[in-house]
Structures are given as C-alpha cells and as structure tokens.
Amino acid sequence: MIKWTFTALIRLGYVSLDVIGISAAILLAGHLRQAAIPQAIRDILLDWSHPFHFVFTVWLVAVLFFNGIYRLYETRRELLEAHELVLLARSFLFSAMALIALVYALKIEGFPRSVCLLTVLFSFVFLSAWRIAKRLLVNYLVARGYNNFNVLIIGAGRVGLMLAEEIHQRPRLGLKIAGFLDDFKTTADLKGEYAVLGKLADLEEVSRKNFITKIFVSIHPAGNVFQEMLEIAKIRRLAVRVVPQAFDKATGDLLRYNIGFIPVLEYCDLGQTRKQYGKRLFDIVVSLLALLVLLPFWLVIMLFIRLDSPGPVFYFSRRVGFNGREFFMWKFRSMVVDADARLKELQQHNEVDGPIFKMRRDPRITRLGRFLRKYSIDEFPQLVNVLLGDMSMVGPRPLPVAQVDKNDPRQLKRLEVRPGITGLWQVRGRSDLTFSRLVGWDTWYINNWSFSLDMSILLRTPTAVLAGRGAY
C-alpha cells in the first residue's frame, strides 16, 4: 500500500510538471504574440469567459491524455532516452490534431495560429527538458544503488550471457545480477564473474535466498517447466521477463497483440526503404552543419599533420559500401605514407580475429596519428562521404575491399545499408570487440533500425570516443 501510494505521488508529480510546463508555454506564446490575444495574457487560463480559454484547456487535457496513453508518466529505465522523446513527439502530434479539429469543429473565428504553433513548440521543449533532467537524476541515483533490483537469469547459454553483458553495461537500469539457473552448465563453464546458482528446479529456493525480485528467461524450457516457473514466480511475486526466441535473427519490429484472449508476438518487417524515410535527409543536414562548424578545426589538424610527418594530409581508403558499391573513404592521414605496402610484413602480428587487421603498437602510425586515432579525429573527413551519399552518420563500419568476403553471408548482410561514421561497434568497445561480435551487432542494428536507435548511438558516441577504450 505504501509503495502504491509513493508511485501514485510520483505520477502526480509528473503530471503536475507537465501542467506547469504547458501553462508556461501558453503564457509565453501569448506574451510573444500579445497583439493576437484580445484580453490579458493571464486570462487565457484563468478566465472562463476568455474566447480561447476552452480551446487551450482542451489542448492541455489532450496532451495529458496522450502522454498517459504512451506511458510517459512512468519511469521506465529500459526505455532509450531518444525513444521517450519520440513518444512525446507522437503525443504532441495527436494532441495538436485534436486541437486543430476542435477549432474547426467549433468554428472559432480569429483563433491565433501563431500562438497555437508557439504553444506546441514551447510545450514540447519544456516537457522534454524536465524529462531529460529526470532521466539524469534517476540514472545518477540508480547507478549509486538507489532502488536497485536483484535479478536471476534463467539459462547460462549464449543469449543469457549476452543479456548479462547488456545489463552490466547499463547501471542506470538498477539491475544487479545474482547469478544464473541452468540444468546443463556450471559456474566453471562461465569463466567469468557470474555463478550458476542451481538448476531450474531450484528457482524457489534460490530466489528466496538471494532476495530476487525479477527473473529473465533466456531459454525456452520444454514440457511443464515454464508453467511451473510461472507458478513459483506468482507465489514469490517475481516479475518475469522473457527474451523472444531467435530475437537476433529476426528482422523488423517486435509487435505484441491479441487474437481473442491469446497474446501473440509478431516479427514485423516493414522493409528498409519504408523504415528509413528521412534518414538520408537527416544525414545531409547534419553532415553539412558539422562540416561548417568543424572547418576551422580541420585547418589546424591539417597543419599539424604536415608538420608531424611528410606526406599528404588526407588518406583515401578503398571501401565496400551499400549494395557492394566501392568508394574512397576519406580520413586524416594517421600513418606513414608507405603504410599499405608494409601491411603484409605485419600480418603475423594481427591482434584481432577475422579479416580485420588491428595492432596496438602498429609501427606505421605517426606520433600525431596515435592521438588522432585514439579520439577518432581521423574519421572526421568522412562527413564528406556522408554528404556525397557513400556513407551515413550511423551504420556498420565499411571494410576495406581486400577484407570483404562476398562468400560470407554475414558480411553480405552488412552491405544492405549504407556504412556509417559511427555505430554499435563504436559505442560497444571498438577494436576490443571480436569480428564475430562486431558482425553480430551490425546484423542486429540492420534488423532493428529505428531513428531513435540512431539518435541513441549518436548521443553515446562522444562518451565512447573520449573514453578511448579499444582505440588503436
């Protein structure tokens, strides 16, 4: 009861912040366009006789209603920040449509369209701002142990270990892995920091001893095992979350709906062309703005490169891109001029698996080049490739022509989209990832692309680059 009351108070606080934000937006818009308002600005919200009072009140209620529909009054830690803003934008779109429909239905004459547009804009900014601030505060508190949950993963196989890694890399989720349950693996098989605490039949005892509040099922047990687990979870009041089978092989979105009383999960592929409307336009706008902003910085780097070692400022690497088309990828030169000719003699020192060549202390890298590569500054000229259409801001990293095996279906999958300046490879460890893991994440990205995912990767890239982990 106390927990429910606290949750209700939190939601009431969220709603109050939205009311304050929308009210402030209405008043600010009215102040900026005072000539379009027939009475005092404050009367828009407080005076029932004001001709526009009803319309703006309905607008406020509509935003609160759609925000509730999109569950924006809950703190869902697993939701990406960018996705939450996308949901807020959808809420505003539908509420704005309702506002416009109301104005036309009631035939309200003289309604100030400029005030309406400014109200929508300011409201979105204010409501986004406090949600971002809330996210930062919650992430800070959770990462320091506030309101954390002990979780148990059912299945210590590949999917279970991948899930554990994802949870470990996201302390903001507040999930502490107590261990695994598995009928076939032991702690020794994991070779890591996690332990197998027992078999599936030990769920009740293990969950009680380790104060488990959530369990993740990463396998699909046969027979009545899963049903028995649900019964135990119900008795122990455990939240059960199930990883969909073959999630990493499916394409498109995962949708949930009901046929009668039966819930159904659908792997829905809307097609890459339809899904990526606007991605190219976004790439053009962002790359053009970035080129203009970074131009002075480029001139300084170009000067330092010329002073550091003899040779050209730029290096053009022949890469394979979208649909197997070859192109020259721009980079600031970070190696000696004859680096390509010396590659063969260094092949035996390759420190990564697969066709990629990486070497921590590569003798071909110049003094300045080591700094440029550590912070990915050498990649900046690829903004030109984005502008030309060879690359995208986000996508799989393009491989050199000599390193592409067109007989490998995994590599062919990577060529279904434009390669990117940054991607999951950049934010998940860079050169520290195995080639197999790199291809796996690229495949997942292609199958699950969304604009919010791109925004999340772009926002995480500066932190990953500044950390310098896996860069060589």
pLDDT digits over 332-382, tens only? 999 998 888 888 788 777 766 666 777 778 889 999 998 998 888 999 999
The predicted pLDDT at position 346 comes to: 81
Does residue 117 fall inside a structural domain?
yes
Q: How many CA atoms lie within 13 A of 104 on its CB side?
A: 6
Note whether 70 and 137 are same-domain residues: yes
At 171, is the secondary structure helix, strand, or coil?
helix
Report if residue 249 sits inside a domain.
no
Domain final position from 105, 121, 143: 143
Question: 7: which strand partners?
Answer: none
What secondary structure letter does DSSP report for 197?
Answer: E
In a domain, 95, yes or no: yes
Among candidate residues 198, 221, 243, the one where a domain is terminated: 243
Residues 108 and 169 occupy one common structural domain: no
Is the domain of 288 the same as that of 167? no
Q: Is 153 helix (H, G, I), strand (E, B) or coil?
A: strand
Supply the angle between the helices 451-467 and 81-106 in degrees, to the nearest 10.
150
Q: Are strands 314-320 and 326-332 parallel, antiparallel or unpaired?
A: antiparallel
* Integer angstrom CA distances of residue 347 from 344, 359, 425: 5, 9, 23
Amino acid at 315: Y
Nearest 5°: the CA angle 175, 181, 186 is 115
Same domain assignment for residues 300 and 206: no
Q: Is 418 helix (H, G, I), strand (E, B) or coil?
A: coil
User: What pLDDT score does 402 carry?
Assistant: 80
Query: Could you tell me if 456 and 80 are in contact, meaning their C-beta atoms sit under 8 angstroms apart?
Result: yes
Does residue 257 lie in a domain region?
A: no
Q: What is the pTM of this model?
A: 0.52
Same-domain pairing of 62 and 136: yes
Residue at which a domain ends, from 110, 143, 176:
143
Please give the Cα distance from 296 to 92 (Å, whole number): 39
Residues 6+ apart with CB under 8 A from 316: 328, 329, 330, 331
Alpha helix locations (H) across 375-423? 382-388, 409-414
The secondary structure of residue 172, as a DSSP letter, is: G
Residues 101 and 176 in one domain: no
Does residue 333 fall inside a structural domain?
Answer: yes
Nearest alpha-carbon partner for 444 in 403, 392, 395: 395
Asked whether residue 271 is assigned to any structural domain, the reply reads no
* Nearest in space to 174 (alpha carbons), one of 150, 153, 195, 193: 150
Contact between 58 and 102 (Cβ < 8 Å): yes
Tally the domains of the chain. 3
Name the residue with tokens 């912040």.
Answer: 17
**Six token digits for residue 363:** 């003798």
Same domain assignment for residues 109 and 132:
yes
Residue 312 to residues 295, 370, 379, 382, Cα–Cα distance (Å) = 18, 17, 16, 16
Structure confidence by residue, pLDDT tens digits, 316-336:
999 999 888 999 999 999 999
Distance CA 428, CA 439 (A): 12
pLDDT for 248: 63
Percent of the residues in the chain that have a pLDDT greater than 70, as a whole number? 85
Q: What local confidence, expressed as pLDDT, does residue 344 receive?
A: 78
**Is 296 in the same domain as 194?**
no
Contact between residue 320 and residue 405 where contact means Cβ atoms under 8 Å apart: no
One domain, residues 194 and 87? no
Residue spans of the chain under pLDDT 50: 1-2
> Where in the sequence is the domain holding 167, given as residue range(s)?
149-243
Q: Are residues 24 and 123 in the same domain?
A: yes
**Sign of torsion, CA 113 115 120 125?**
positive
Position 469 scores a pLDDT of 59
Same domain for 349 and 434?
yes
Residue 269 lies in a domain: no
CA atoms within 13 A on the CB side of 146: 9
Whether residue 159 is found in the same domain as residue 63: no
Q: What is the pLDDT of residue 1?
A: 46
CATH number at residue 172: 3.40.50.20
